[in-house]
Amino acid sequence: MTNKLIFGIAFSLFLSISAIGQETYTHPDSLLLKELEIYEVTIEASRNESKLKDLPVSLSIINARTIKNNDISTLHHVAGITPNLFMPNYGSKLTSPVYIRGIGSRINSPSVGLYVDGIPYFEKSTFAFEFFDLERIEVLRGPQGTLFGRNSMGGLINITTKNPMQYQGGAMNLSYGNYGQYRANIEHYNKVNEKFAYSFSWNAQHTNGMYMNEFNNRPVDKLNSYGFRNKLIYQYSDKVTLENIAMVENSKQGGYPYALWNDSLEAANPVNYNNPSGYDRLLFSDALKYRYQTKDYELSNTLSFQYLDDIQRIDQDFTPADLYYVEQTQEQKMVANELIARSRGERKFSWLVGIFAFHQSFDNAVEVDVIPQNMWYLKQYDNTVNGFAGFAQASYHLTPSLSITGGLRYDYESSGMAYQYDLQMGENMMPPIDTVYPGLTDRIILPKLALNYTINNANIFASYTTGYKPGGFNSTFEKPEHLTFKNERSNNYELGIKSPFYQNLLYAEFALFYTALENQQIYLTAPSGRGSYLGNSGLSENKGVEFTLRNSPINGFEGMIAYGYTHSQILEYVQDEETNFNNNYTPYIPRHTLAVQLTKTFRIKGFETFEYIKLNAMYNQVGQTYWNLTNTYKQETYGLLNGKISFIRDDFQFDFWGRNILNANYQAFLFEALGNTYVQVGQPMQYGVSLSIKF
């Protein structure tokens, strides 16, 4: 069956169902959004019970219903429906950087913050995990340095899982798709009594692979993954609550689906390399949360631990020849603690103060075979990072309509690295080199100032926010000056408006932003072509606009349009006498993003098997994107269409779903190394069925 025929059948079925719907109806699930009233939703990432309308920041809320309608199971899917959020597919879970408003990092620590149930995720290799039992995703765009400090220059993604004090019962979700895609998820929530509740969730996924390796006629991107989450909540009294959240995920992933780029044909050659490659990872996190609250104030403490153990094996030349083979291992341990005190309730003056501290240690090793030169070397790194921060934020209502918010954060961070280098040339083993490098220290103050004005139920805000990303050590360096890189700083100016209208059935958000960056951390290829490192440009700037329009469910219909435009440019960066990147566009930043979603629920009378039919379509567009600093390679604007048809009765739902239904051809990622250009083409059309049962 051809792709066009499959799409034709799906489209015909869509039209047929629309024609037979005897009566439109709002399914009970659709009422959730209206009950909450988007404009009045409390934002957890605000840390002080602020409502969406009162926050002087641009943000997107993705609730559980939207997650289910669009089968959002990874951060890549979140990027598809959020303005100016982009997450390219690099071929494995090891490299999962996120870009918001032109700010991101391809390697090393991320430039966008990620918190899951209050647990900070500081490493890009922890970002790509499978989603399950999620309650809500909040995406805050723009620097969030005052409250969150390091790694939140571009913004913050805050993920909250379901609370067994609020959710009861269980659910089972099964899915099957082409390319041997299997997914299973089981959830259970139980409130034993008024004081104690628990939940557990299990998730497993398998994919045969979508990209074939011409060398051995086998798929290169096979995936096996399983995860588990457990949540315990004990409400000791009306004032004291204890909570423990544990999560583990184990995944074994093939990789990497890179192919040589053919300049003459302007197309990718087939994937064709001889050494099997892949990425295996064990990820574990646990958090103990304490909360004491009264009518007037709240004290909360979150103590968290995260452990990462992974190994990457990669045919670095991505050709049938025996040239370069790399094996990289990493073990990360991180302990973090955050203590926050804040005011509660509606008041003229509200406040929040907190302290944050963390310790992070890495044991990394990189083993490289340079086969043509009969050379082997092993680099081992012991890296430790310690950080401390104190922060405060307060809001004051100057008038009933006008409020001012100010914040200040002091961040201190130190890092050190010990390094050992073993080299063998032919049969000769060279004496090992052991080095302990002088430590790096960052101290920075991050201020914030914002105004929020309410007029006719609309909120107009203006803000000045700051962010930074610490400096550090490069794990790959071939010159002494490439060993370290400086911290990166940003100043962000924003003007926006949020407003419901048409009897609160529609909600719109509009924002203009300008961000000035100093010492932007830039991805660079090592002189030999093997490996990469971070350097610093001089000045860069990002400016753009964002617009979101959505509706509360109306007669079974929901719609959403989200558009973002970013002009991201490097103003000053002269690498050497022969290399000048001044006024070039920043790589990996789409010129624009667009998401259009339409959902319609029909109630079918007189049909015993199913009572409702829901149609959901999502169109995503990604604008022109440059892949390198010289701006010689770029991906032109492309669009992806996803859709789902759901048959629902009581607690039973059966779906037909599709991704990239039009089978668009595009570059998911392109890079240069070893004198070659490599590309990963985008994932092809996928389709399948899924079943959900609540009990």
Kindly state the average pLDDT of the residues 152-178. 94
Question: Using one digit for the tens of pLDDT, what is the confidence trace for 384-442?
Answer: 999 999 999 999 999 999 999 999 999 999 998 888 889 888 888 888 888 877 888 98
3-class state of residue 67 by DSSP:
helix
User: Beta strand pairing status for 375-397 and 652-659?
Assistant: unpaired
- Other beta carbons within 10 Å of 544: 21
Residues 432, 422: Cα–Cα separation, whole Å: 5
Question: Using one digit for the tens of pLDDT, what is the confidence trace for 612-635?
Answer: 999 999 999 999 999 998 999 999
pLDDT at 481: 76
pLDDT at 486: 87
pLDDT at 11 over 50: no
Identify the band that residue 162 occupies on the pLDDT scale cut at 50, 70 and 90: very high
pLDDT at 32 over 70: no
Tokens of 643: 């859709």
Kindly state the average pLDDT of the residues 282-304. 96
pTM over 0.75: yes
Among 147-161, 200-214, 477-491, 578-592, the range scoring the smallest mean pLDDT is 477-491
Tokens of 427: 């049969």
Residues 451, 107: Cα–Cα separation, whole Å: 35
Q: Measured in Å, how far apart are the chain's first and last C-alpha atoms? A: 37
Tokens of 176: 């099957």
Among 194-208, 262-276, 634-648, the range scoring the smallest mean pLDDT is 262-276
Question: Using one digit for the tens of pLDDT, what is the confidence trace for 69-107?
Answer: 999 999 889 988 899 999 988 888 888 888 999 998 887
pLDDT at 639: 96
Tokens of 32: 């959730």
pLDDT at 10: 40
Is the peptide bond between 256 and the residue preceding it cis, with omega within 30 degrees of 0?
A: yes
pLDDT at 38: 63
Structural domains in the chain, CATH included, are 3-694 (2.40.170.20)
Q: What is the 3-state secondary structure (H, E, C) of 117-143?
A: CCEEECCHHHCCCCCCCEEEEEEEECC
- Other beta carbons within 10 Å of 416: 16
Average pLDDT, the chain: 88
Residue 48 phi/psi, 5-degree rounding, is -140, 30
pLDDT at 297: 94
Among 18-22, 286-290, 619-623, the range scoring the smallest mean pLDDT is 18-22
Please indicate whether residue 464 or residue 22 has the higher confidence score (pLDDT). Answer: 464
The single-letter DSSP state of residue 553 is -
| Burial status of residue 553 (CB atoms within 10 A of its CB: 0-12, 13-18, 19 or more) | buried
The proportion of the chain whose per-residue pLDDT surpasses 70, expressed as a percent, equals 94
Residue 482 phi/psi, 5-degree rounding, is -95, 0
Tokens of 672: 């240069």
Residue whose C-alpha is closest to residue 156's, from 400, 412, 465: 465
Identify the band that residue 37 occupies on the pLDDT scale cut at 50, 70 and 90: low
